[in-house]
């Protein structure tokens, strides 16, 4: 989501006649687009702001803007004063950036309808913003607001425009993308429509409570949908899921995964897991490890709980010590990697049509993705957006290594 928001801002700035430079030292304007979901993101932004303040004092840099979720949080006012930031924007008023960079004032525009950079081989399309859940630990509903679904008409016309412009891979985006709905239509209806228009489709991030079996089956059945599901579970313990207000039990999650595995047997499954949430006992942690074994994730983002001001979990008892959280973090990560490595090794020898995402680096190695959603490293000069037929030669816990077939 942040990458896509940055893309929209990049587009505005390029339209205003600016060029993009790789180093702060060469810039007139710096726009820091930020994440607020965990404290380490904020720490990093502070570091950048310190460096930018020095460049501004030396007269090299003229203006600094802070955008994104930190911009939407109360903390941005403190940062603005401390670092003398010139413009602070939240996540809903990106259009205000136009004036800041010397473009004519734009009419108030619904941010998801601002175009991103076009002509790319792959593109994000925002279908909903915000979130109607209230997970105990999460700052997203505070900084991104309640759910707003973009109209199907507007989404499909953007998809058509992108595909006509040469985009071969469309990713539908939303905080709870599968919660999308409009006039009796639900996410699966939209996904099916998009899968008929775009040659390659994926979507993220889903919520288990919104995920319909119909959608899981569509992933398996529809040729243009990448067979990869990202479904954050957060914990394997029903007690924790309740404290977190996730709205489902571990058993229900397991059932969803069964449907997915059956619908897309060779597909890939990833998740998000939080360890060390207040109140988490050793027994809860064991339940998470058990769920990891049962679901055999192909990858997982594991996070240590980070207290966010303004969320329920920041003020409840049962704080888990850093040492315990670290131990649980490593255990969950190891369990995930063990399974992922085993599953990846089972792919050795397979012949796949690999979509090239990033062209060759200095060593000639490109990064691609199979239809099953596996990340692949391969030696090829093929341009991003093209397909290369390749045989998987070896595997690590995170990627497959393949050789193109001539």
The residues that touch ligand 5AD, with contacts defined as CB under 6 A, are 37-38, 137-138, 232, 234, 272, 274, 303, 305-306, 308
| Separation CA 352–CA 359 (nearest Å) | 18
The site partner of 141 among ligand 5AD, ligand SF4, none (C-beta below 5 to 8 Å per kind) is ligand SF4
Taking the least distance from each CB to ligand 5AD, the nearer of 189 and 272 is 272
Residue with tokens 């900084």: 143
Q: Give me the least distance between CB of 176 and ligand 5AD, in Å please.
A: 10
| Separation CA 300–CA 297 (nearest Å) | 7
50 C-beta neighbours (distance < 10 Å), count:
11
Stretch that binds ligand SF4, among 20-28, 128-136, 273-281, 312-320 (CB under 6 A): 128-136
Size of residue set near ligand SF4 by CB under 6 A: 9
Q: Give me the least distance between CB of 332 and ligand 5AD, in Å please.
A: 12
Taking the least distance from each CB to ligand 5AD, the nearer of 308 and 374 is 308
The site partner of 305 among ligand 5AD, ligand SF4, none (C-beta below 5 to 8 Å per kind) is ligand 5AD
* C-alpha Rg value of the chain to the nearest Å: 22
Nearest Cα to 398, choosing from 354, 329, 338? 338
What is the Cβ-side half-sphere exposure of residue 151, based on CA atoms within 13 angstroms? 5
Nearest Cα to 233, choosing from 316, 295, 148, 166? 295
Q: Is 131 in the site for ligand SF4 (CB under 6 A)?
A: yes
Q: Is 91 in the site for ligand SF4 (CB under 6 A)?
A: no
| Separation CA 382–CA 240 (nearest Å) | 47
Q: How far apart are the first and last CA of the chain?
A: 37
Taking the least distance from each CB to ligand SF4, the nearer of 83 and 248 is 248
CB 182 within 8 A of CB 150: no
Q: Could you tell me whether strands 181-182 and 387-395 are parallel, antiparallel, or unpaired per DSSP bridges?
A: unpaired
Q: Is 140 in the site for ligand SF4 (CB under 6 A)?
A: yes
Q: Give me the least distance between CB of 307 and ligand 5AD, in Å please.
A: 7
Nearest Cα to 368, choosing from 343, 389, 344? 389
Residue selected from 95, 133, 303, 305 as contacting ligand SF4 according to rule CB under 6 A: 133
Q: Give me the least distance between CB of 387 and ligand 5AD, in Å please.
A: 30
Q: Is 175 in the site for ligand SF4 (CB under 6 A)?
A: yes
Print the binding letters for residues 196-235 with ligand SF4: x by CB under 6 A, - otherwise: -----------x----------------------------
Give the residues across from 376 on adjacent strands.
368, 400
Residue selected from 31, 101, 138, 263 as contacting ligand SF4 according to rule CB under 6 A: 138
Inter-helix orientation angle 187-197/213-221, to 10° = 10
| Interacting residues with ligand SF4 (CB under 6 A) | 131, 133, 135, 138, 140-141, 175-176, 207
């Amino acid at each position: 989501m942040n990458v896509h928001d940055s893309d929209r801002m990049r587009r505005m700035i390029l339209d205003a006649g600016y060029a993009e430079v790789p180093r702060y030292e060469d810039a007139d304007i710096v726009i820091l687009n930020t994440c607020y979901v965990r404290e380490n993101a904020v720490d990093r932004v502070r570091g950048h702001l310190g460096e930018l303040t020095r460049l501004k004092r030396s007269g090299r840099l003229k203006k600094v803007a802070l955008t994104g979720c930190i911009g939407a949080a109360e903390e941005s006012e403190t940062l603005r004063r401390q670092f003398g930031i010139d413009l602070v924007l939240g996540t809903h008023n990106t259009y205000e950036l136009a004036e800041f960079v010397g473009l004519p004032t734009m009419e108030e525009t619904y941010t998801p309808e601002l175009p991103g950079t076009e002509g790319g081989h792959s593109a994000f399309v925002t279908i909903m913003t915000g979130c109607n859940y209230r997970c105990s630990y999460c700052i997203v509903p505070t900084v991104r607001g309640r759910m707003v679904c973009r109209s199907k008409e507007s989404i499909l016309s953007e998809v058509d425009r992108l595909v006509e412009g040469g985009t071969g891979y469309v990713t539908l985006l939303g905080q709870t993308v599968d919660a999308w709905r409009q006039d009796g239509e639900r996410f699966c209806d939209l996904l099916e429509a998009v899968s008929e228009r775009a040659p390659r489709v994926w979507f993220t991030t889903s919520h288990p409570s919104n995920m319909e079996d119909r959608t899981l089956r569509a992933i398996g059945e529809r040729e243009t949908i990448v067979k990869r599901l990202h479904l954050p579970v957060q914990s394997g313990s029903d007690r924790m899921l309740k404290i977190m207000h996730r709205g489902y039990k571990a058993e229900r999650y397991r059932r969803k995964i069964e449907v997915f595995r059956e619908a897309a047997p060779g597909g890939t499954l990833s998740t998000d897991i939080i360890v060390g949430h207040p109140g988490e006992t050793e027994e809860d942690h064991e339940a998470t490890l058990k769920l990891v074994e049962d679901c055999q994730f192909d990858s997982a983002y594991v996070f240590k709980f980070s207290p966010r001001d303004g969320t329920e979990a920041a003020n409840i008892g049962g704080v888990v010590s850093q040492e315990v959280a670290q131990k649980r973090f490593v255990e969950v990560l190891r369990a995930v990697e063990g399974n992922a490595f085993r599953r990846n090794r089972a792919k050795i020898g397979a012949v796949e049509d690999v979509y090239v995402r990033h062209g060759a680096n200095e060593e000639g190695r490109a990064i691609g993705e199979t239809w099953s959603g596996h990340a692949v490293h391969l030696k090829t000069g093929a341009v991003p957006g093209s397909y290369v037929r390749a045989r998987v030669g070896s595997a690590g816990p995170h990627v497959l290594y393949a050789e193109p077939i001539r």
